[in-house]
Amino acid sequence: MTDTASTVKVSRSNRPRENLTGWAFIAPLGILFILFMLVPILWGLYLSFTNQSLTGAGGDLVGFDNYAEALADPDMWRSMLNTVWFTVLSTIPLVVISLALALLVNTGLPGQWLWRLSFFMPYLLASTVVSLIWVWLYNPQLGLFNAILGWFGIDPVTWLQDPDLAMLSVVVTTVWWTIGFNFLLYLAAIQNIPESQYEAASLDGAGRWRTLTSITIPQLGSTTIMVVILQLLASLKVFDQIYQMTGGGPAGTTRSAIQYIFESGFTGFRFGYSSAISYIFFVLIIIVSVIQFRITARRSA
């Protein structure tokens, strides 16, 4: 009690000085934050109510016209649905396979260094490098995948040009590229499970499978929640690899929300409209975050 009283006294006597120091410490970040975060957030919101074009023409307030147009725009909805579809298709394997890889690597096999390197290395590559390599692998005539299919007498497949296969092909690339991050999160979590729990289980005569399902998997609950949340948010923001591998084609089947924002702004020259779609997309992300938060809160309650 007396302790708190004395700190309050001390801090009160230092108040003006502490205020100044505090603001001085946050000033460098603060200025950058205002310039490159707050200003664009507000400017974007303002732009979304104008007919501003890239060339500087326009700029008149048009009320909710952009939003009305976007909500009636089948291409906008298509790009949003593509994004959601990509998120569903990619999140499931990126969570399940990364867990399986971590469990396999953790079985105490030799060569830990090599396994970690194999599964994590792709995560370090730039999207351009990843797409260069995978477009080559998917090449209908010369690619590795069709060569392998050829050994089994299967006809060549047009991986990225077939509307039914293009999204799936991009998902496979994404899983290869980004799984290393989830894999390491799981590996670290598995290795943090107290050894005593395994000892107790083995005294009780629990087998491998029983240990896995009754100890390891349940202990990974909070890690799984974190992995899923991070993965959903990352997948919703997909753009780079799809844009570089398919350009959004064939026939718009892989065009993402970010690509639509980019195209309406920078090739369609409609900054106002593009900003409106940005904000609709932002709302989608917030909705997903809120749903996740609810589910997580209920789980941990």
Partner 1 sequence: MSTETQHMTVPATARNAASIAPKRRTKLGPAGIAALVVLIVLAVAWLLPFVWAIVTSLKSETDAASASLWPAHGFTLDAYAKVLAEGNVPTWAWNSLFTSALITLITVLTSALAAYAFSRIRFRGNKAVYIVVIAAIAVPPQVLIVPLFYEMLAMDLVDTYWGLMLPQVVQPIIVLILKQFFDQIPVELEEAARVDGASRLRVFISIVMPLSRPILAAVSIFVFVWAWNNFLWPFIIINDPQLMTLPVGLQTVKSAYGIQYAQNMAMAILAALPLIVVFLFFQRQIIKGISTTGFGGQ
- Residues 8-37 contacting partner 1, CB under 8 A: 11, 18-23, 25-26, 28-30, 32-33, 35-37
State the nearest-atom distance from the C-beta of 204 to partner 1, in Å.
16
Question: Phi and psi of 11, rounded to 5°?
Answer: -70, -30
Structure tokens at 230: 């991070």
State yes or no: residue 87 binds partner 1 (CB under 8 A). no
C-alpha to C-alpha distance for 150 and 177, rounded to whole angstroms? 25
User: Least Å distance between CB 106 and partner 1?
Assistant: 6
Distance of alpha carbon 22 from alpha carbon 109, whole angstroms: 51
- Among 84, 92, 168, 184, the residue binding partner 1 under the rule CB under 8 A is 184
Comparing C-alpha atoms, which of 1, 27, 177, 192 is closest to residue 102?
192
Q: Nearest approach, Cβ of 151 to partner 1 (angstroms)? A: 11
For partner 1, the closer CB: 115 or 159: 115
Does residue 105 touch partner 1 according to CB under 8 A? yes
The residues with which 50 forms a beta bridge, in sequence order, are 61
Question: Judged by CB under 8 A, does residue 6 bind partner 1?
Answer: no
Interface with partner 1: number of residues (CB under 8 A): 98
**Which of these segments, 61-69, 78-86, 109-117, 160-168, binds partner 1 (CB under 8 A)?**
109-117
The nearer residue to partner 1, 166 or 235, going by C-beta atoms, is: 235
Of 253-272, which residues contact partner 1 (CB under 8 A)?
A: 258, 261-262, 265-266, 271
Of 72 and 126, nearer to partner 1 (C-beta) is 126
Nearer to partner 1, 254 or 274 (CB): 274
Task: Return the residue of 76, 89, 137, 228 that touches partner 1, per CB under 8 A.
Answer: 137
Residue ranges in 46-75 that form contacts with partner 1 under rule CB under 8 A: 47, 52
Let me know: does 296 contact 229? Beta carbons within 8 Å: yes
Which amino acid, 49? F
Nearest-approach distance from CB 149 to partner 1, in angstroms: 11
Considering only residues 190 to 219 of the shown chain, the ones binding partner 1 according to CB under 8 A are 191-192, 195, 198, 208
Residues of span 212-251 touching partner 1 by CB under 8 A? 226, 230, 233-234, 236-237, 239-240, 244
